[in-house]
């Protein structure tokens, strides 16, 4: 069983370690400096607000779709972790921020630079375990997530890294909050 401090450690690894191979690749292959990699000069309010809005909207729609009866038979590991560890709002915000920044730096600033939108998006969804030959129903969840990842990948091309980070963060926050809410309802029964 995963403990809460282990989950926090994994969040920090995602935030601090995941970006390293991406940065090293773009640095040595394309001579991209750290400031460019992080797109610090591109931190602007409007793309961040667009990303937050898009992430929240897509997550709310996904949460509605995921309430369909067919998804009841698809056990997601994260659902069980949220339930077992009694994840709270602070935990959800921290983990969403770590995933939003760390994964977007790895996949958008790194992989997408060399492998394009489609491959990096499909790989992102697959590496999270949402495409499965052994569990075909799990791929249904992957088909809900894939359009979101494709759209934030294209958004990265048009609005920059911070749009993608904001969208990813918002999506994760909404889904965590939905799981927290469902967990509270389950515990109240």
The tens digit of pLDDT for each residue in 118-176 reads 999 999 999 998 888 887 778 888 999 999 999 999 999 999 999 999 999 999 999 98
pLDDT over threshold 60, residue 111:
yes
| Domain containing residue 91 | 4-188
Long-range contacts of 92-96 (CB under 8 A, 24+ apart): 92/172, 92/173, 92/176, 92/177, 92/180, 93/173, 94/8, 94/11, 95/7, 95/11, 95/172, 95/176, 96/168, 96/169, 96/170, 96/172, 96/173, 96/176
What is the pTM (predicted TM-score) of this model?
0.92
Question: How many structural domains are present in the chain?
Answer: 1
């Amino acid at each position: 069983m995963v403990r809460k401090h282990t989950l926090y450690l994994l969040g920090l690894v995602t935030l601090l370690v995941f970006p390293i191979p991406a940065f090293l690749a773009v640095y040595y292959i394309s001579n991209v400096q750290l400031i460019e990699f992080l797109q610090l000069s591109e931190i602007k309010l409007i793309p961040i607000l667009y990303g937050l809005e898009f992430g929240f909207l897509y997550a709310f729609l996904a949460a509605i779709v995921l309430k369909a009866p067919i998804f009841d038979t698809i056990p997601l590991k994260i659902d069980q972790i949220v339930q077992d560890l009694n994840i709270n709002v602070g935990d959800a915000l921290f983990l969403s921020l770590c995933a939003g920044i760390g994964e977007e730096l790895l996949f958008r600033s790194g992989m997408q630079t060399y492998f394009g939108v489609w491959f990096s998006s499909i790989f992102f969804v697959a590496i999270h375990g949402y495409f499965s030959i052994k569990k075909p129903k799990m791929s249904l969840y992957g088909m809900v997530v894939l359009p979101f990842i494709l759209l934030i990948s294209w958004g990265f091309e048009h609005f920059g890294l911070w749009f993608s980070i904001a969208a990813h963060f918002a999506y994760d926050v909404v889904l965590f909050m939905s799981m927290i809410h469902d967990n509270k309802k389950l515990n109240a029964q």
